[in-house]
Structure 1
Amino acid sequence: MLRIRLKYLVLLPLLAGFLAAQIVQAATAPPGSVNNPVVSRSYVEKALQPLRDEISRLAAEVAALKAQRAVKFDDVPTTHWAYDSITYMVNKNIVKGVGAGKFAPGSQTTRAQLAVMIVNALQLPTTGVKAEFTDVPASHWAYSHIAAAQKAGIISGNDGKFRPNDSVTRGEMAAMLVRAFNLERLNKAARFSDVQPGYWAYDLIMRVADNGISRGYEDGTFRPANKVSRAEVCVFLALSLDPARRK
């Protein structure tokens, strides 16, 4: 839609010229003629206001378009299956590369890293919060984000531990997404052969599937114990943040 609107941007000068001509005609017409309403500053301002509003709106959209920078990571070509989602996440400053022009899309995501991404995505406050996990000291690089996620009820841990350096599983990720984005059960037909009622994350995985955030694998499995890559996290978070991306 933005591209269509930009096509008409060239028409704005013509419209401005037309309005200006009308105003000049009104100002120079004989008093009392049909072309000479009461020409005043307020009349001119009123006549031009719709044009100003349209220019402001289009300028904002152009600025937004320019902000959509192309992702330039050596290991994420435009043909990468998650390129669009990675671009979306990077442009929103939710995730960054790993340095040296790399994104490492296939690398596993730790629980701490996922907590940081979710907190960034939701723009949760990270000041004045305290983490209650024994294995997350105040000196931990992600302490404030983990604390923010815990305060928001997005993350939890067993035995008072968060295990920040453990790789996130697909089941754990489903749990965090449901809590972060308040995903509801829609009772759709999605079922996975390896996720049965009674499994600890069954309801959570069903919610993620019901909302179109994950359909699992082509063989009908969800593989809840599989580790989640950075590319996969970008896809899941992009779908969670922008329902328009869901199909």
Structure 2
Amino acid sequence: MKKKRMGALLGLVLCAALLAVPAAGAEAEPVASAPLGPVLLDGTVKQTGEKTLLLTKEDGSQVIVGYGETTYIVDATDGVATNMTGLKDGESMRVYVDPIMALSEPPQARAVIILRNLPKDAKAPTYHQVAAVDTVNESGIALTTREGKQMTVPFDAKTSPYLTKNIVTYRDLIPGTWFLAWSSGAEVTRAVLFAYDGLPFTDVEKSYWAYDSILSVTSRGLLRCDSTLAFRPGDALTRAELVKALYQLAGSPVVIQSIPGFEDVQDGGDYLNALTWAVGNKLVNGYSDNTFRPNEVVSRQQLAAFLYRWEQHRGGGFQGAWMFLLDYPDRDSISEYAYEGVAWCVTNNILSGRADGTLAPNASVTRAAASAMLERYLTYQANARSSG
């Protein structure tokens, strides 16, 4: 029986390998996908060796689970770090393990996190990684996990770190963070955060010029990663992404205006609330053909103009007479509608010239460059608050 089961398992592995090979003459298409994450195992355990457990699942199948110094061990009822002292054969346990790759029988895996003392009258906590921050305001945070689950963490949810005395809050749930969540529906009532142990992005190295800016804006929900934790720094910013960023800057206020009647946004989209708010507050205009063009790329001068409109909406911007000529050889290519916003952003170090000395106002702005401008604007706001 064991040989048959092993043969079947090897057969499945070989079939999967063959299916992954493109047909002759065909070119394989690269498919972006999230790195394999921890696998959940629920069952009863018994100690079979030093730091080795035999976990029996409800269907009777078994897995050998090893654990060590890097394994998180948590009391699933109160969220406190614990250990394996007092383990008895038959204890119910929830274990998250690295993907099971061994072809042994039973298969073997390494435990990432072990949950003991499972609550009897409530759901056991679940283990997640933040892929994207959707909304951050004084009410809390809305986020999307790497598996695509949407969760909300209210500002008053009990949030604590694992094995440190640092103070953490819901605002520490940033892209890349792993956390345990005790939930009621989609709302998290308690969270335990784990030490940040690596780069959050799969396509942005820490040495990248805009790394800090990208981390800053993604942590605030101004721009998003995708489910693979890819940020796409070289892609051009779109108009839909821009209105969402402005909406986040404003704290995601409740939208009470009528939905704008643009012909190309009637089907909605995840930017609809942001667009409705931006149009209602006269921050965004459509085109003469009654379209918004959500996927059209944003230029450097457009981003400056949009940020300036938001600053004016807050009561800021130039006061009184301000007109002056910008010291760039291509200043005449700045559109009339954007000149004041560009001048204000240049004056406040939010927009700067390029290495060749030009401003390039009509060049598309990349997501990396937009991150830098947004972070500089946040810095300007913080300095204005502290000095005012």
**TM-score (normalised: structure 1):** 0.66
Residue identity in the other structure for 1:67: D
Tell me the SS of whatever aligns to 1:63: coil
Residue in 2 aligned with 1:184? 317
Percent of pairs with identical residues: 25
Partner of residue 90, structure 1: 218
Pick the structure with more strand per residue: 2
The answer to whether structure 1 residue 162 and structure 2 residue 298 are counterparts is no
Q: Taking structure 2 as the reference length, what is the TM-score of the superposition?
A: 0.44
**Which fold has the larger relative contact order, with Cα–Cα distance below 8 Å and residues 6 or more apart in sequence?**
1
Write the letter of the residue equivalent to 2:302. Answer: E
Alignment of 1:1-247 (within 5 A): 62-63=167-168, 67=172, 72-129=200-257, 130-159=259-288, 160-182=290-312, 184-185=317-318, 190-196=326-332, 199-200=335-336, 201-243=338-380
Q: Which structure's residues are more often helix, by fraction?
A: 1
Instruction: Tell me, in whole angstroms, the C-alpha distance in 2 between the residues paired with 1:66 and 1:161.
Output: 36
Residues 85, 107 of structure 1: alpha-carbon distance in 2 compared, 3 angstrom cutoff: same
Unaligned runs of 5+ in 1: 1-60
Does structure 1 retain, via aligned residues, the 8 Å contact 2:236–2:365?
Answer: yes
**Alpha-carbon separation, structure 2, partners of 1:67 and 1:140:** 28
1:84 shift after superposition: 0.7
- Asked if the contact 1:192/1:220 (under 8 Å) is kept, the reply is yes
Rate the CA distance shift 1:153–1:144 in 2: closer, same or farther, 3 A: same
Tell me the distance in 2 between the aligned counterparts of 1:99 and 1:85: 20
Tell me if structure 2 keeps the 8 A contact 1:119–1:145: yes
Deviations 1:103-137 (A, max 9, x none): 11111111011111111121142533322423221
Distance 1:165 1:126, change over 3 A: farther
CA contact (8 A) 2:284 2:306 kept: yes
CA distance in 2, matches of 1:63, 1:225: 42
Aligned length: 187
Mapped contact 1:112–1:165 kept (Cα < 8 A)? yes
Structure 2 contact 218–224 (Cα < 8 Å) conserved: yes
Q: Give ranges in structure 2 of 5+ residues lacking alignment.
A: 1-165, 175-195, 384-388
Distance 1:113 1:66, change over 3 A: closer
Q: CA deviation at 1:176?
A: 0.5
- Cα distance, 1:95 vs structure 2: 2.1
Q: Please state how far the C-alpha of 1:64 moved relative to its aligned partner.
A: 6.1
Query: How far is the alpha carbon of 1:80 from its aligned partner?
Result: 0.8
On the 8 A contact 1:131/1:147 being kept in 2, the answer is: yes
Does the aligned pair in 2 maintain the 1:170–1:226 contact within 8 Å? yes
Give the structure 2 partner of residue 14 of structure 1. none
Give CA deviations for 1:134-180 in whole Å, capped at 9, x if unaligned.
32215333211111111122111221322111011111111101101
* Cα pair 2:237 2:366 within 8 Å, conserved: yes
Range with bigger deviation, 205-214 or 175-184: 175-184
Residue 93 of structure 1: CA displacement?
2.3
Native 8 Å contact 2:304 2:351 kept in 1: no
